[in-house]
Amino acid sequence: MVIVHRNPSNARPDVVVRAAQPGDLPVVVALDAEATGLEKSAYWKERFAWYANGDRGRFFLIAERGTEAVGFIVGEVRAWEFGSPPAGWVFAVNVRKAERLHGLGTILFDAICTRFRKVGVTIVRTMLLKDEQLVMSFFRSMGMMGGPFIQLEKRLDP
């Protein structure tokens, strides 16, 4: 399904959000590399295969203006890991640097939340590095708050 979004007010007009297609892989790799400085072709190829198999609750969405992909968001419904009832997880969101501050991230986030709701989940989660201030501020601006889980880790000695 393709939805044409015309809000929020600062958004550039006529942004289409649609499911990712195999032909989007190079653009997604490039957008991710632009943001992270790392080109992870193999990783994204594997992710495309995972999300393209049509499983209910998996979403890889592309924001497109005209014929140009300008952003993407990836997420899926996960259930009972860490004791959690089904919840939508956002694993990645990215908007081309030159296209930021026009509400595209909001459009993508709203689009995946709509799809999460349609498959019956009422919570959306994400996880990110504490020092990723820009991305964390974005998710905060979407109304996300600290949740009931806390991430712990330990360095494994050789």
Partner 1 sequence: MKLQTATRIAIHAVLELAADPGSQISAAQIAERYDISVNHLAKVLRTLGRAGLVEALRGVRGGYRFRGNARRVTLLDIVQLFEEVDSVKGASREPGAHTAEGRALHAVLAEIDDTARATLSSITIATMLMLVARQPPTSPARGRSAAGASPRR
**By CB under 8 A, what part of segment 107-136 binds partner 1?**
130-131, 133, 136
**By CB under 8 A, what part of segment 46-75 binds partner 1?**
none
Question: Exactly one of 143, 148, 157, 158 binds partner 1 (CB under 8 A); which one?
Answer: 143
Q: Which two tokens stand for residue 135?
A: 């991305």
Check residue 146 for interaction with partner 1 (CB under 8 A): yes
> Among 65, 131, 140, 126, which Cα is nearest to 98's?
65
Check residue 141 for interaction with partner 1 (CB under 8 A): yes
Question: Exactly one of 7, 21, 36, 137 binds partner 1 (CB under 8 A); which one?
Answer: 137
Taking CA atoms, 5 is separated from 8, 15, 58, 98, 100, in Å, by 8, 5, 21, 19, 16
Q: Which two tokens stand for residue 52?
A: 């393209």
- Contacts with partner 1 by CB under 8 A: the residue count is 10
For the chain, give percent helix, strand, coil, nearest 5: 35, 25, 40
Residues in the site for partner 1, rule: CB under 8 A?
Answer: 130-131, 133, 136-137, 139-141, 143, 146
